[in-house]
Amino acid sequence: MIVKAVQDVEEISVTEAGARGTTIRWMLNRSDGVPTFAMRYFVVKPGGSTPRHAHPWEHEIFVIKGTCTAFCEGETRHVGPDHAIYIEPEAIHSFVNEGTDDLVFLCMIPIQ
């Protein structure tokens, strides 16, 4: 069993073009001996966003705190705590925190 606390995992600024006020923590990954999926913990500050991007793998997101506007392939949805989001492979997507609180979400991706 692997158990980690968020505060014990390195917080890294997301620096890709289009990212603003976003950090990531790799909670579980191959380096931990996890074979199939990675779990990432994101924080997007008010007014911040993830970059608009696409990639060949799917991912699943679970919103813990805050609200955001999720953009995916021309569709716009407003989501908040306790919402799950599925992003298909190759779908262009981004998340914008238009609220006043931090947006906190988990994102699971297959380990490549």
Cα–Cα dist 14/42, whole Å: 9
How large is the average pLDDT for residues 89-98?
97
Q: What is the pTM of this model?
A: 0.94
pLDDT confidence tier of residue 112, bands split at 50, 70 and 90: confident
Cα–Cα dist 28/20, whole Å: 24
Output the pLDDT for position 45.
Answer: 99
Considering the domain 6-110, what is its CATH architecture? Sandwich (2.60)
How large is the average pLDDT for residues 90-104?
97
Cα–Cα dist 62/103, whole Å: 11
Q: Tokens 């603003």 — which residue?
A: 20
pLDDT confidence tier of residue 31, bands split at 50, 70 and 90: very high
Cα–Cα dist 104/112, whole Å: 24
What residue spans define the domains of the chain?
6-110
**pLDDT tens-digit map of 36-91:** 999 999 999 999 999 999 999 999 999 999 999 999 999 999 999 999 999 999 99
